[in-house]
Structure 1
Amino acid sequence: MIAVKNLFARGFTRRGLLSATAAVLIASTSPVVLAATPKDTLVLAWAIDDIITLDPAESFEISAGEIMGNTYDRLVRFDVADPSKLYGDVAESWTVSEDGKTYTFKLKPGLRFASGNPLTADDVAFSLRRAVKLDLSPAFILTQFGLTKDNVAEKVKKIDDLTVVIETDKAYAPTFVLNCLTANVAAIVDKKLVLEHEKDGDLGYAWLKTNYAGSGPMKIRDWRANEILALERNDNYYGEKAKLPRVIYRHVKESATQRLLLEKGDVDIARNLSPEDLAAVEKNADIAITNRPKGTIYYFSLNQKNPTLAKPEVREAMKWLVDYDAIGATLIKGIGTIHQTFLPMGLLGAIDEKPYKLDIAKAKELLEKAGLKDGFSVTMDVRQTQPVAGIAEAVQRTFAQAGIKLEIIPGDGKQTLTKYRARNHDIYIGQWGADYWDPHTNADTFARNPDNSDNAASKPLAWRNAWDIPELTKKADAAVLERDPAKRVAMYTELQRDLLKTSPFVIIYQMVETAGVRKNVEGFVLGSTSDSTYVFRVSKN
């Protein structure tokens, strides 16, 4: 729990604190009497245990993405209403050279960070260079343009205080490059503030993991891992100021608890409601349901370092051992739609082909062909949130019908992700959200693995599962360079069909993000990506 004296020290008034006490209390095992949320504070119940860091150069998790989207600016953003449209964020305008390799951005004048420091082209160049030099999980979004630690100082340059230039190695489709620059890894950090906290040349990395150095409409005030994250209005923001002074995310994993808090008015929005709890709150006259198809897919994947899981017949058998119909009718009713290809519907080239269904006999036939007639034992790392935990249990039951003994290893988001990123799992079940609105965002991670060695620079999902695919990598590389939209669609169609049959990814459904919202809340719109749900636009009447 945030200490009372700490809240006062951080700018919370006594009146605001007394009214907000219930809203900032962390869910615990001891009974607590809660009051309605204050009029000047938006309180959301959400499972935020996947947040590992607050540094946009490292942040690569679903709920962390939303925090970054509300607290950090970037050169450009996409329109939430129409993701195919781009607009300038701190960039006032931009041009692309005739050879398609040089992007020149003119910045809006008079910009300032939350700290009060001026935001200039020097900060933009520093931020992009920093992300490339740190070379953490999301850095590949920038390094795919040919940027490296050695050349980024020459390729990303400040021309003057309001002009920055980015040079790419190839003539990519401009929309692809610009969409990548909407990603969190391209967020702009306060160079002066970050370097004040630099230690041993780490570019402020240790400090920024738990601190804030942005210019977005809101600023991060407090973060307690697996407990609470509090945002506060940034009065230095260049655009329309946040409508509410503060937004508080409460970590609440259980859907039933979220529903209870929402119905009592102890939270304004519930983000992880199960189909059953959604059906219950729909009957409440004070609550509205909002939803939107998300660029997020849920899947489980098979580590190819495990010799049993590396057998093609086993990979295919597991795709026949999922009861998609039952999962669709129960576990994801109202919050997802069955989908089996790596591109979510809405992205260029996405296909909606669903060849797999539960077929125990077919799976057994494939396992026998692989020399595993009597089955085998395997583990699955599972983040204990719904519907992931429920799907894992459903798969455990259907696997057993084919003789596969599945042991579920529970953990929180940080534990399961850390293990997955180190390639220490057998099977991992989780979600993948589009980092930018272009099909390469998913092709680059599911269908591309340029270096399968343990110390590879690029570590996409194919790498995490040790899937060595040089030919598919070439196809993905060719697709991102194709400027003809029709030809590009055909290339992504072929890639999706290749992965359906051969990949170690068992894709189950596309997320339809759904939230329960109290009716006094206005302006809450779910975004199509993790970083485009803008709580700073929300008000309460």
Structure 2
Amino acid sequence: MKHFHSRMMAGAALAVMLASAPAVFAATPNDQLVIGTSLAQVLSLDPQQGTEVKTQEILANTYDRLISFDSKTNELQGQLAESWDVDDTGITFHLRDAQFASGNPVTANDVVFSLVRLFKLDQSAAAGLKTFGYNAETAESLITAVDEKTVRIDLTDDVVPEALLYRLSGGVGSVVDSVEVMKHVVNNDYGNEWLRTNTAGSGPFVLRRWSPNDIVMLEANPNFWGEPSTLKRVLFRHVPESQAARLMLERGDIDIANALTAADVRYFDGKEGFVIDQVKTGGFYALAMNAGHEPLDNPLVRQAIAYGIDYQGIGDAILGPYGRPRNVPVPEDWEGAIPNPDWSLQPEKARALLAEAGYPNGFSLTIKTIAQAPRVDMATAIQANLAEIGITARVIQGNGSDIVAAHRARDFDLLIPQTSAADPTALGALDNFTNNPDNSVEANNAGNFVWRSDWDIPELNTLRQEANRERDPATRLEMARQLQEDFIAASPAVFPMFERFEPIVVNARVEGYSGHPWSLTRVDAVTKTDAN
């Protein structure tokens, strides 16, 4: 079964490194890769804290995990783990000989330190594994070093081995240099303040410079355990304006652009010297409705909004290569996905639902969104759609830190987040939409999308937990189908609108670049040909 589609991409041209580059441009050197992107959401480079999409690509190249997920083969592969054994009660990992960038050896103690640190920090990054019963209280007894090169992770009653392996292959499974990190611990912060702006990994590159909303510069790690990269330097340049990024890509200032508008992506369709890769993330562009605010606490109002959005029109005019309409939180071509409900644009039905809910004259609210393509245009289109059914919506744009903070603090009416699948299965895709074990304010579960929307779903959460612990694959898949049906019937407050793709435009000089569905794209195997 094919969960993700990711083509091997060829191609790119290189360019100037810094934002203050002179007016004369030349192709970037063959030993450098320059990626034009948006760094607005890169808030922390601590791998046990930073979860944003663009952060993940930086972390994927500076850290290793025990295992990685190869989206081209749909298989898990060893990274720091040369092999692993699965038994009825746990998973045992056998480590390869590797060094951190500092020269310190990678040991089982580093793996244990990293994973326990994830739960001790208790940031949103830990949410995906906490749902399986791992937390600050249990981690030290469940995650242990058998010897210097062997790590044992015991299973809880809430997880099957396959799901645990997929979660460990994500960015939160990154292994940090415990010896180096412990040198920088201040006030029992587990080294977080230092790791926010530094790296301590064993990946193919090391961080040399990070200027927020400007540039991230990585340089080759001479102590990397794998094959040496032909790239000496990788630069992520903050290019939030799509037209500027398009021009820079055309004239060779950047090799790759991954934050273009749909129109600018289409500009390169069929253009000689460029390749478009449309990576299927398994995630969604969603509409978060704050069920703790009136009138969004009313299921009829949420249904009205669902019937008041022109998904097909927005998909055609705005998303294009960024996605396709889908209102069930499992991609339509994944095993176990159910058909889409009839939540098409139906203004008359939407107005009738508002009247039934007690709002015949509508009401006013706000839509918050990160100022980034394609979400700003989506917010504007939704604003216009809602006006047709009597809802006045004001769009509030902000940077990543502002909007993410508002989302985590439940400080919004409507908000447009994006999700990724926790793993390439129906249950993995459902996790962001059906996981909320404790909706109380005291739980402060800000890493949980459903909690952020103040949507209390004890029945859905219970079914999700039962499905996660079910060992029979066929039964687990049937439970995933039932979870989708129950989700639709619940008038969701975390509402999937579009299956999310990640279009990446690459210059044909770049060879071996393949976008990863979770943005964990490693570039150490990338090579570049001479410019024409």
Could you list the runs of 5+ residues in structure 2 that have no partner in the other structure? 1-12
The answer as to whether partners of 1:295 and 1:346 remain within 8 angstroms in 2 is no
Q: Is residue 351 from structure 1 mapped to residue 341 from structure 2 by the alignment?
A: no
Among 495, 504, 508, the residue aligned to 1:515: 504
1:127-142 matches, within 5 Å, as 127-142=114-129
| C-alpha distance in 2 between matches for 1:527 and 1:152 | 29
Pairing 1:289-438 to 2, within 5 Å after superposition: 289-345=276-332, 347-438=334-425
Question: How far, CA to CA, are the matches of 2:348 and 2:231 in structure 1?
Answer: 57
Asked if 1:464 is matched to 2:452, the reply is yes
After TM superposition, the structure 1 = structure 2 runs for residues 131-170 of structure 1, keeping only pairs within 5 Å, are: 131-170=118-157
2:53 to 59, 62, 75: 62
Corresponding residue to 1:51 among 30, 42, 60: 42
Instruction: Give the aligned partner of residue 9 of structure 1.
Output: none
Deviations 1:368-396 (A, max 9, x none): 00110001000111111111111110010
For 1:93, the equivalent position in structure 2 comes to: 83
Q: Deviations over 1:6-60 (max 9, x none)?
A: xxxxxxxxxxxxx988232269xxx954433222111111112111100011011
Equivalent residue number for residue 22 of structure 1: 16
Q: Give the equivalent residue in structure 1 for 2:94.
A: 106
Aligned to 1:535: 523
User: Corresponding residue for 2:247?
Assistant: 260
The answer to whether the Cα contact below 8 Å between 2:103 and 2:223 also exists between their aligned partners in 1 is yes
Report the residue type matching 1:443 in the other structure. L
- What is the identity percentage for the equivalent residue pairs of Structure 1 and Structure 2? 37
How many Å apart are 1:537 and its aligned residue?
A: 2.2
Describe the superposition over 1:219-241 as per-residue Cα deviations: whole angstroms up to 9, x where unpaired. 22211111111111112111122
**2:421 touches 2:430 (CA, 8 Å); kept in 1?**
no
1:506 corresponds to which residue? Answer: 495
Does residue 1:36 correspond to 2:10, yes or no?
A: no
Q: TM-score, length-normalised on structure 2?
A: 0.93
For the Cα contact (< 8 Å) 2:158–2:465, is it kept in 1? no
- The alpha-carbon deviation at position 287 of structure 1 amounts to 1.8
Per chain length, whose mean CA-contact separation is higher, i.e. which structure has more relative contact order (CA < 8 Å, sep 6+)? 2
Q: Is the 8 A contact 2:421 2:431 kept in 1?
A: no
Alignment match of 1:189 (pick from 176, 179, 183): 176
In the TM superposition, what whole-angstrom CA distance separates every residue of 1:490-518 from its partner, at most 9, and x where no partner exists? 21112122223411123221122212111
Amino acid at match of 1:499: F
* Residue identity opposite 2:91 in structure 1: Y
Tell me which of 234, 249, 256 is aligned to 2:221: 234
Greater Cα shift, 404-413 or 434-443: 434-443
3-state secondary structure, aligned to 1:377: strand
Give, as a single letter, the amino acid of the residue that structure 1 aligns with 2:221: N
Distance (Å, rounded) in 2 between the aligned partners of 1:240 and 1:435: 29
Give secondary structure in 2 for the equivalent of 1:140.
helix
1:298-347 residue CA offsets vs partner (Å, 9 max, x unmatched): 01110111020110111001111111111121111123121111123465
- Name the SS of the counterpart of 2:321 in structure 1: coil
Q: Would you say how many aligned residue pairs link Structure 1 and Structure 2? A: 515
Q: Following the alignment from structure 1 to structure 2, what is the Cα–Cα distance between the partners of residues 535 and 354?
A: 40
Letter in 2 for 1:25: A
- 1:52 touches 1:414 (CA, 8 Å); kept in 2? yes
Question: Could you report, residue by residue, the CA deviation over 1:342-370 in whole angstroms, capped at 9, with x for unpaired residues?
Answer: 12346542334142111110100000001
- Distance in 2, Cα, partners of 1:119 & 1:299: 39
Provide the aligned C-alpha RMSD in A. 1.9
Closer, same or farther: CA 310–336 of 1 in aligned 2, 3 Å:
same
Question: Which amino acid in 1 is paired with 2:453?
Answer: N
Q: Secondary structure at the match of 2:320?
A: coil
5+ residue gaps in structure 1?
1-18
Q: Which runs of 4+ in 1 moved over 4 A?
A: 345-348
Tell me, what secondary structure is at the counterpart of 2:418? Answer: strand
Letter in 2 for 1:440: L
The answer (yes or no) to whether the contact 1:263–1:281 under 8 Å persists in 2 is: no
* CA distance in 2: counterparts of 1:316 and 1:377, whole angstroms: 16
Measure, in 1, the Cα distance between the counterparts of 2:494 and 2:135. Answer: 30
Secondary structure in structure 1 of the residue aligned to 2:198: coil
Q: Is the 8 A contact 1:303 1:425 kept in 2?
A: yes
Does residue 439 in structure 1 map to residue 426 in structure 2? yes
Map Cα deviations across residues 438-476 of structure 1 (whole Å, 9 max, x no partner).
433333321121111113164411100000111111110
Q: Which amino acid aligns with 1:481?
A: R
Query: Matches of 1:278 and 1:140 in 2, distance apart?
Result: 34
The alpha-carbon deviation at position 276 of structure 1 amounts to 1.9
The answer to whether the aligner puts 1:74 opposite 2:61 as a matched pair is no
Cα deviation code 1:50-74 (max 9, x no counterpart): 1110001101111111112222111
- The one-letter code matched in structure 1 to 2:17 is A
CA deviations on 1:231-256 (whole Å, 9 max, x unpaired) are 11112111122231111111111221
TM-aligned CA distance change 1:157 to 1:175, over 3 Å: same
The residue that corresponds to 2:210 in the other structure is: 223
Aligned to 2:5: none
Query: C-alpha offsets along residues 406-439 of structure 1, whole Å, 9 cap, x if unaligned?
Result: 0111101121111101111111112111233343
